Amino acid sequence: MDSSSHSLPPLAVDLDGTLVRTDTLHEQLAQAVKKHPLHLPSLLTGITRGKAQFKAAIAEKIEIDGALLPYNEDVVDYLREEKAKGRKIILATAAHESIAKAVADHLDLFDEVIGTSENRNLKGANKADALESAVGDANFDYIGDSSADRAIWERAGRALVVAPQQSAAKSLAGPVKVEKLFATERAGLKTYLKAMRIHQWAKNVLLATPLFLSQQYTDPALWVPLIAAFISFGLCASATYCWNDLLDLPSDRRHATKRNRPFASGKISIKDGLVFSALCLLASFLLAYALVGAGFILLLLGYIVTTVSYSFLIKTKPVADVIVLGAFYAYRIFAGGIAVGIMPSEWLLSFSMFFFVSLGFMKRMSDMQVEAPKNEKISGRGYFPEDRSIIQVFGVAAGYSAVIIMALYITDENVTALYKNPEYLWFVCLGLLYWISRTWILAARGHMPDDPVVFALKDKISLLCGLFVVGAVLLAAGILG
């Protein structure tokens, strides 16, 4: 240890928004909503007893795993460098002391840990008092990220600030000089589009299925409500995706790819995510009200209720979760029929149910191959690694059942009357049979990414299969040839 290390003042660092890219109290509340929804009203009313006791009550119900938090690596690296110089490092946070201890145990960096107790909320001046008591007569430096930290910077030797740019850091620190900036990236349009899962909007093409199969797509009056329904359903689904991700933060962070999602990585805060999802939902209902109709709005409400039920309960129930996922696709077809006033046939709904249940099992199988701890349940799910073989059986059976339903559909007299050349529809069966068989072989080999629908949109052979099927339908309808 260099002798100059004795002259270095202690370095204190904040937790929420500084050391980690999230607010741990908000994370606890999100987990309380998922794990203890019936206890939530009593927990929230506890804030009347003071913030310190409120945080203590939440901490009793919800534990935070220090290993799963999204850390600000620039700050962590700086702390390690200063620690190597022999400097005293202090974690000082307004988060509950149990969270501070979990973080300290994980990082193994801190000489002292100070957090909120049942009797004192360690924020602002209270934190400054606690730090001065901890360092005695020595000066100290402090790393923070909010205007509430100004009371600490004013009593510290140096202000080190986590902020998007220098001007924001100066605004936070006020009259105190900013000695070091840890630049953070603001969530831009691309990040919010990722949170919306815009790529999943491709599923909403299913809303157009009743219009195309009824061959009424030449009517321009039907396109306005269809396009509005497409956007409205997408916005509604995006809002529920945000809620689902906020409830699934711990399990997403254990996943090899989901840990990079905007909420799991901390790129978008929980508070901003809730505001953003509310705006998506508002826009969805306004658009549906203006251009689609009351029946479609009721379907949006039904979709929200089902997705919330899925997130809270069904998601952890084996097989039931996949059946509900498959039902969501059939639901889109039904919603498209309501939007344009054309009811889909039982053939179409039954085919889509079996087809998409097959893809649902495929998605579960890919999830299990990414994270498959031996003899342990998959995080956030109800499956074990040894379930892969039976899931594959279920999925292939459902996929082939969809092809059989398509074959029976083709032989129906009422159906063949809709087509000039119905014999070409048999090529649809061939295309589906090949694609389902191929994708399940890829899934069994572990070559299927997280979502088979996204895979199909990027895979050249899948796109060729899609063109083959569409071409067969157009030939059957007499539009080609």
Q: What is the mean pLDDT of each run of 10 residues along the chain (481 residues)?
A: 64 96 95 84 80 90 94 96 94 96 96 93 92 86 93 89 92 89 91 93 92 86 96 97 93 87 95 96 97 95 93 87 90 95 89 93 82 58 83 95 94 82 93 96 85 85 94 87 63
d(CA 421, CA 473): 9
Q: Are residues 348 and 377 in the same domain?
A: yes
Q: Which residue type is seen at 438?
A: R
Residue 286, pLDDT score:
97
Residue 429 included in any domain: yes
Domain count within the chain: 2
Residue ranges making up the domain that contains 41? 8-183
Residue 481, pLDDT score:
63
The contacts of residue 476 (CB under 8 Å, 6+ apart) are 419, 420, 421, 422, 423, 424, 425
3-state secondary structure 126-145: HHHHHHHHHHCCCCCEEEEC
Q: Are residues 365 and 225 in the same domain?
A: yes
Residue 366 included in any domain: yes
Boundary-marking domain end, from 183, 200, 231: 183
Boundary-marking domain end, from 183, 210, 227: 183
Residue 284 included in any domain: yes
The contacts of residue 48 (CB under 8 Å, 6+ apart) are none
Residue 287 included in any domain: yes
3-state secondary structure 145-169: CCHHHHHHHCCCCEEEEEECCHHHH
Q: Are residues 212 and 106 in the same domain?
A: no
CATH number at residue 306: 1.10.357.140
Q: Are residues 176 and 193 in the same domain?
A: no
Residue 1, pLDDT score:
46
CATH number at residue 42: 3.40.50.1000
Residue 1 included in any domain: no
Boundary-marking domain end, from 157, 183, 209: 183
In tens, the pLDDT along 359-416 reads 999 988 887 776 555 556 665 567 888 888 899 999 999 999 999 999 998 888 877 7
Specify whether the CB–CB gap between 9 and 138 falls below 8 A: yes
Residue 145, pLDDT score:
94
Q: Are residues 167 and 50 in the same domain?
A: yes
d(CA 75, CA 281): 36
The angle formed by the CA atoms of residues 435, 459 and 204, to the nearest 5 degrees, is 80
Residue 3 included in any domain: no
Residue 2 included in any domain: no
Q: Are residues 408 and 449 in the same domain?
A: yes
- Cα-to-chain-centroid distance, residue 357: 21
Q: Are residues 387 and 432 in the same domain?
A: yes
Q: Are residues 210 and 131 in the same domain?
A: no
Residue 98, pLDDT score:
95
Q: Are residues 151 and 296 in the same domain?
A: no
Q: Are residues 280 and 398 in the same domain?
A: yes
Specify whether the CB–CB gap between 168 and 144 falls below 8 A: no
Q: Judge if pTM exceeds 0.75.
A: yes
Q: Are residues 220 and 336 in the same domain?
A: yes
Q: Are residues 193 and 177 in the same domain?
A: no
